[in-house]
Amino acid sequence: MAKETVLVSGGAGYIGTHTTVALVEAGYDVVVIDNFSNSEPSAIEGVEKILGRKITFEEVDTCDKEALRKVFERYDFSTIIHFAAYKAVGESVSEPLKYYQNNLVSYMNILELMKEFKRPNVLFSSSATVYGNAEVLPVTEQTPRQPATSPYGNTKQIAEDILRDCCNAYENFYGIALRYFNPVGSHPSALIGELPRGVPNNLVPFITQTAAGIRECLAVFGNDYDTPDGTCLRDFIDVVDLAKAHVAAVNRMVSGKMKEKYEIFNVGTGTPLSVLELITRFEKANNLKLNYKIAARRQGDVPAVWADTTLANNELGWKAERDIDDTLRAAWAWEKHVRGIK
Ligand code: UD1
């Protein structure tokens, strides 16, 4: 039987590379596109090294509809995983048009071409940010979304709604939105990982860069929250586990097992960890000391959010498996690989 092919937009990015590896390991063919706006060609080389073979890659900007059309003309795929998007929350506040333009135009291009070329399935990268500061924890997929506090978060909500409406309106059009919690870690090979440009916004890259001596001190944003140790609680999901959730969702789509035309799944571990706990675990797992200090709260942070993963466990047959200490060892191994630290 011919293998199914999956188009992966933004496949040179952090989650895209890990998902590409997982898809090929699960027996799918892939067509990866990326414009390297926030990634490097070395990411594709890392994927190929892990897999021990070349993958189909095209340098394409998903905002360029004619270039994207050529990809639809050239390759026969039934399923698209759309990762290509900007993701810096703070930057989206100062440059909203950049975010709305890039994240929504690329997405619209994908959806319009899916319809035109009769490619039925799309998997969209959504985020736990849609839950905002939820009243009841853990959050289920039924937990009401809250008004977005950043243009980045708003693009996720708008994109979810567009997908729902398309699935309702069009025949043979199916969508899954995966709401990621906090993706962390790297492939155990240390050949792919997160490659933030400039000062990292997210916690784990800041931790690993501090450990590598690139940042002098990690600021813990607030220890006066109403949480057990006063720091924020998050659901840190290993990126390799997260990649496998995409494979499970693709399996569900291509095997016609979806129960609704549009489905949403939380992708997290179901277990909260505080910022301080994560720092301590990182230090212990890697046998090092981090230079950190308590600083003021960061605007827009919610005190706590973690996932109820029952739906993904039952319907996707997927469960987070990686141990957080292994995850934090992998994160450090990747940073060392990037910096050439022995
Ligand atoms: C953020 C985004 C989320 C996005 C995710 C991508 C919001 C509010 N958050 O999640 O939408 O999908 O990144 O990974 O939209 N922290 C520090 N010091 C640092 C960095 C972070 O103490 O230098 C703390 C933060 O205050 C927070 C926790 O670490 O409590 C996690 O922060 P971060 O990694 O940025 O993720 P989120 O803000 O949860």
Q: Are 192 and 47 in contact (CB under 8 A)?
A: yes
Tell me the CA–centroid distance for residue 202 and ligand 1, in Å: 5
Atom of ligand 1 nearest to the CA of 233: 30
Q: Are 297 and 152 in contact (CB under 8 A)?
A: no
> Cis bond leading into 151, ω under 30°?
no
Tell me the CA–centroid distance for residue 316 and ligand 1, in Å: 26
For residues 195 and 187, give the distance between their C-alpha atoms in angstroms, rounded to a whole number: 13
Q: Are 164 and 268 in contact (CB under 8 A)?
A: no
Is residue 2 scored above 80 in pLDDT? Answer: no
- Say which residue the tokens 């990292």 belong to: 200
For residues 145 and 71, give the distance between their C-alpha atoms in angstroms, rounded to a whole number: 34
Residues 6+ away with beta carbon under 8 Å from 85: 10, 102, 103, 106, 107, 125, 155
Amino acid at 158: I
pLDDT in tens, 145-183: 999 999 999 999 999 999 999 999 999 999 999 999 999
Helices (H), 175-269: 203-211, 239-254
Please state, for a pLDDT cut of 90, what percent of the chain lies above it. Answer: 98
What are residue 59's DSSP bridge partners? Answer: 34
Using a 6 Å cutoff on CB, does residue 163 contact ligand 1?
Answer: no
pTM surpassing 0.85? yes
The mean pLDDT of 57-62, rounded to a whole number, is 98
- Which residues are the active-site residues? 152
Return mean pLDDT, the chain: 97
- Say which residue the tokens 């090929």 belong to: 24
Atom of ligand 1 nearest to the CA of 201: 35
- Say which residue the tokens 């940073």 belong to: 335
Using a 6 Å cutoff on CB, does residue 223 contact ligand 1?
Answer: no
For residues 226 and 176, give the distance between their C-alpha atoms in angstroms, rounded to a whole number: 34
Instruction: Tell me which of 291, 298, 302, 327 to substitute to probe ligand 1's pocket, judged by most ligand atoms within 8 Å of the beta carbon.
Output: 298
For residues 170 and 112, give the distance between their C-alpha atoms in angstroms, rounded to a whole number: 11
